Amino acid sequence: MENKKNFNNVDDIEFAKRIFPKSSLIKNIKVIHVILSLIVISSLFLLVKDKNYLKFPNIAKSTKSIKDLRVLGHLPYKEAAFENLIEIQPNILVHKEMYKSLKEMKDDAEKDGIYLVFLSGFRSIKLQKQIFYSLKSIRNQIASERARVSAPPGYSEHSTGFAIDIGDAYERQSDFEESFENTSAFKWLKKNAAKYHFRLSFDKKQTYVDYEPWHWRYEGSIEALEIFESSNRKTF
């Protein structure tokens, strides 16, 4: 009877207690987890960024706008060393790296009945200074007006030795004129110049300098490509 009584008295039976973490503690753990994840992700991002910077040290420098390098619409260029120049025509020097291609282009044009005339090649910064300021004064132009048709000293492609002004032997009245685009020589150049690694420097698409159909530059060597890399960017 006593056992039966004890069995029926449920108040005397001890129940196992289950202890659950407080909800606030769980929330704190989740917050800490999120914060740690953000720290890890941020660290990885900075690490990758630093590695890219070390791998490409010029990236930081290149973020400066090309427009900031220009003076009156012209990019800066260093003067070619005299030992790197060669005479292509009496009184006209060009960079020796483009001499062969330029001569080959002229010879091939003649085979097609087109006679190219070289009007101007390498110009020293000293000569460019005379051209820019003297003609500016003679023509009563302000600097920005003169810069539309002539680069300031130190900012001319001609100083590199890789630029050449070309005319048509049968239409000399078009020398240094936009009307050169109507000559047989220009039409031949437009169709064939790229074969010899030449391109028009100042076409109608750009807005910094007046259109110059006679002015071509050479891009057939690593040195030339490096020199004109900024000009070739399509970020301006």
Domain presence at residue 114: yes
Residue 207: the pLDDT is 84
Does the reported pTM lie above 0.85? no
Long-range contacts of 185-193 (CB under 8 A, 24+ apart): 185/109, 185/114, 185/115, 185/116, 185/117, 186/213, 186/214, 188/109, 188/112, 188/114, 189/109, 189/116, 189/216, 192/105, 192/108, 192/109, 193/105
Per-residue pLDDT at 54 exceeds 90: no
Write the pLDDT tens digit of every residue in 134-188: 989 999 999 999 999 999 999 999 999 999 999 999 999 999 999 999 999 999 9
Residue 235: the pLDDT is 41
Show the domain range for 92. Answer: 66-232
Domain presence at residue 2: no
Residue 135: the pLDDT is 87
Q: How many independent structural domains does the chain possess?
A: 1
Domain presence at residue 74: yes
- Any idea what the CATH number is for the domain that residue 175 is in? 3.30.1380.10
Write the pLDDT tens digit of every residue in 61-114: 444 555 678 899 899 999 999 999 999 999 999 999 999 999 999 999 999 999
Q: For residue 195, what are the contacts with CB-CB under 8 A and spacing of at least 6?
A: 105
